[in-house]
Amino acid sequence: MNILIVDDQQFVREAIKADLIESTFEHDFQTFEAEDANQGIEAIVAIEGNIDLLILDLKMDHCDGMEVINFLSEHASYVDIPLAVISSSDKRTLELVGSIARSLKLNLVGVFEKPINMDFILAETGRLQSQDDHKMVVKSPESISDYDINQLLADEQVLLCFQPQVDMKNKNIIGFEVLARMYDENGYIYPDTFLPLIDKAGLNVDFTKVIVAKAFRFWANEKTLASYTLSINVTAEDLSSDNLVDYIIRHKQAHADIKLILELTESQEIINQASALNSIARLIINGIGISLDDFGKSYSTYERLDTIPFNEIKIDRSFVCDIDTNEQHHLIVESTIALAKKMSVSVVAEGIETESVLNILAELGCDIAQGYVYSPPIEGRYLIAWVNRYVHKDIAANVH
């Protein structure tokens, strides 16, 4: 995989190269470097556009990254080069550059704030390429066998990412939802691919155990995170396993300071079975919060609210993402929030991607926000830096 790094700071180029080497992707990377836009353009021409990823800094001495962007757009043979724009500039500038690159029909992987998450960029690049029927990096369901899934799980080839949940009133971070990725030598395998295979192989409980163990280990090692909730997804089927419920309770007892919430998703309608209800009662007694995930969709209905003392409900993203344009969804979300208020249950809205949706949810009285508007899922090793940056910016915003 040929990667061209255009950045005027040698330290940043070295850090990117080190991240590539440490990456979970085991590609044979060949890196090329340029320290300004002119050198970058010369490098693109010299290697005849044979570049699998162009990492481009925006603001550089002499001439800036826009020069390279314009050059790519003016040359049809280079317009398909996957482009990741990186910068320490403010978010609005990054959004503007992203819009320009898209309008120029460039093959934009994304626009990323420094420090960049190399694994995420590589995964996005792979996803982009697979969409174009090019080389596959993110695996399709057909390319993974039951044996692969068994082996990957046995090897704990699971990477945890964390998506922040933010208090809508004071903008403080409330906690994080754990989102898992599996990976092999070719790259990330996303949940829509591996979850059905895990389900088919009957490995749901083993998978949840790996997530619980890894998440607790991570939270326990990072004292900064102690004040935030840790939300982990479980299925109703998981709760039918006494073994798993014991396992979760043991972890909670060993780390009483970790504010664990289990987000209950349902793959089968078994929640009303006595064993599942019994498990939920045991979890609650042991100080574990229960959140009703994907509310309004499939089995997460009002009946559940009546049966189980949930701490919070999460409105399904399909209702949230377009409430600024879809009147029906607006009504559904509005009534769900009103109901939750009357039941003294917190409401989390997930899948928020725009300020417009965020503002409407605030007006409706939603308690907690989650979505790309704050951050995509963050790989564990970058989480503390993200928290510090967020907290710092918030303090700055309040000062002003």
Partner 1 sequence: MFIDISENLRHFFCHYSEERRLPLYQALVGELVNIRSKIKLVEDNDQLNALKHQLKGVCRYLSLEFDVQIDAITRLQQLYRLVDHIHGQVVAIADEL
Verify binding: residue 14, partner 1, rule CB under 8 A: yes
**Residue 284 or 384 having the CB closest to partner 1:** 384
DSSP string, 163-196: EEEEETTT--EEEEEEEEEEEETTEEE-HHHHHH
Of residues 20 through 39, those in contact with partner 1 by CB under 8 A are: 21-22
Q: CB of residue 18 vs partner 1: minimum separation in angstroms? A: 4
Specify the amino acid at residue 330: H
Of residues 236 through 295, those in contact with partner 1 by CB under 8 A are: none
Q: Determine the interface stretch with partner 1 among 13-21, 123-131, 325-333, 363-371 (rule: CB under 8 A).
A: 13-21
Specify the amino acid at residue 235: T
Q: Which of 31, 70, 88, 356 binds partner 1 (CB under 8 A)?
A: 88
Q: Which of 42, 61, 74, 155 binds partner 1 (CB under 8 A)?
A: 61
Angle between helices 204-221 and 146-154 (to 10 degrees): 30
**Residue 49 or 380 having the CB closest to partner 1:** 380
Question: Could you give the CA distance from residue 76 to residue 66 in angstroms, rounded to a whole number?
Answer: 17
Of residues 139 through 158, those in contact with partner 1 by CB under 8 A are: none
Question: Could you give the CA distance from residue 290 to residue 312 in angstroms, rounded to a whole number?
Answer: 7
Verify binding: residue 388, partner 1, rule CB under 8 A: yes
Q: Which of 46, 59, 105, 287 binds partner 1 (CB under 8 A)?
A: 59
Question: Could you give the CA distance from residue 191 to residue 196 in angstroms, rounded to a whole number?
Answer: 8
Pairing mode, strands 312-315 and 53-57 = unpaired
Give the count of residues interacting with partner 1 (CB under 8 A). 27
Verify binding: residue 102, partner 1, rule CB under 8 A: no
Q: Which of 11, 131, 257, 342 binds partner 1 (CB under 8 A)?
A: 11
Q: Determine the interface stretch with partner 1 among 18-26, 224-232, 332-340, 355-363 (rule: CB under 8 A).
A: 18-26
Q: Which of 15, 136, 277, 284 binds partner 1 (CB under 8 A)?
A: 15
Q: Which of 114, 171, 282, 330 binds partner 1 (CB under 8 A)?
A: 114
Verify binding: residue 10, partner 1, rule CB under 8 A: yes
Of residues 347 through 386, those in contact with partner 1 by CB under 8 A are: 381, 384-385
**Tokens standing for residue 98:** 């992203």
| Non-local CB neighbours of 169 within 8 Å, separated by 6+ positions | 367
What sections of 222-354 are H helices per DSSP? Answer: 236-239, 242-254, 274-285, 302-307, 317-320, 327-342
Beta strands in the chain (DSSP E): 2-6, 30-34, 53-57, 83-87, 108-113, 158-167, 173-184, 187-189, 229-235, 259-265, 289-295, 312-315, 346-349, 368-370, 378-379
Distance set, CA 361 to CA 19, 339, 364, 390 (Å)? 38, 15, 5, 21
The answer to whether 130 touches 124, Cβ cutoff 8 Å, is no
Verify binding: residue 96, partner 1, rule CB under 8 A: no
**Residue 113 or 324 having the CB closest to partner 1:** 113
Using CB under 8 A as the criterion, which residues of the chain lie in contact with partner 1 when the complex forms? 8-15, 18, 21-22, 59, 61, 88-89, 113-115, 381, 384-385, 388-389, 392-393, 395-396
